[in-house]
Structure 1
Amino acid sequence: MSHKPRSMPVGQRNILRPNDSASLWNCTLSPGWTREESDILRKALMRFGVGNWKDIMESGSLPGKTNAQLNLQTQRLLGQQSTAEFQMLHIDPLVIGGKNAQIQGEHVKRKNGFIVNSGGKLSREEKLRRIKENKEKYELPEDVWSKIDLPRLDDPVIVLEQKERQLAEMQQELIKVREWIQDRRTEVTKDAKALSLELDSFVENDENLDIMEETSRGKRIKRSP
């Protein structure tokens, strides 16, 4: 017999549970990210706030990740490119991602699975208004986010494994770049050979034309009285 999911306890209304429909939102991963790391980032955003990259990096929970990497994967968790309207808010990004996944329409443009900006840059007033609105709608109570524990992954073995994985990914990317360069070189060589043949043909035709003109001129001279 199926059971209805229990109501979410007060103070946890904006945290997804496995049986919440919004939890079906399955964000894509940025290059260099594992599903485990993405889950850690989700908790780190709830604990420290969106955009608080300094504290997230200093927590040691995601060693080796840069500001840019954290920001890009946050966009994928949120399901949208703009993060300004959630700046420093302690929210569960998958709640927003689940809502954005339901948005449809010709006006919605997506890239890498998230909604990209289509309008102009937000004014300071509009940005603050949205932050206030999102704080009221989505921010977790302090007694919830302040108790979130994050794993500390600064163990030398773990860091080494991460670096080795990143190195392997960079090597694969380097192979692709080299293949691309080789393909371009092959194309340039083919184009150069074709151009050379055209030039040789042009020169040959030009020489033939000169010979024909000289022959014709010689014939006219012989015919003269």
Structure 2
Amino acid sequence: SPMMSVLASASTSWQNNPCVDTAAPYHKQPWCDASLSIDERITDMLGRMSLDEKIPNLNTAGVEIKSLGLSAYNWWEEASSGVSGGKQTTKFAYPITTGMSFNRTLWRLTGRQIGHEARALMNAGQAGSSFWAPVINLAREPRWGRNIEVPGEDPYLVGEYAEAFVTGMERAPEDGGAHIQASACCKHYAANSMEHATEGGQTHTRHDFSATISRRDLVDSYL
């Protein structure tokens, strides 16, 4: 649910967190109670928000909700080869190179370290809790300008890479994976890898794309 961003903003930074003990009167409200399920917490939070507060939080950049003590939140965080917006973070090799290793352990450990650093930055108030990573487009066209961001051209390889990377990034080893240390969002899921092409007399540039593909290509390549 897009409203997960609202809960995410409540846990982004220990310095500005309405759910910590010092943040009265918010910390005793049900949506701050970590013993409740996510669904219960979201239901309680939504019940406290006006329509005017809900609508702007359905976009990439969620606005501040003063009535709940929540700061603004932005979904736009990149982490396919390291947390891009943070200071002094580890820069890993591009996925097109690590994908060539066919090494699931390497992919998982890379995701885990990125997740560790992402969580540290969250706690310092320097990052959000959701990241657009990994990139799971297929390297179908050698002239495509973003081939460095993807694991390769083979659908099976890309799927295995995504599973290992996401598992490493999200599962916090300190608690056996009971809590998500950073939320991974696999981006450009299907039929999005043509940067410049002409189809049916229409030219597509790097700013748009055509998702019109055959059923066979959809099943063989993406699903």
TM-score bracket for the superposition, by shorter chain length: under 0.3
Give me the TM-score of the superposition, normalised by structure 1. Answer: 0.20
Bigger relative contact order (CA 8 A; separation at least 6): 1
More strand as a share of residues: 2
Give me the TM-score of the superposition, normalised by structure 2. Answer: 0.21
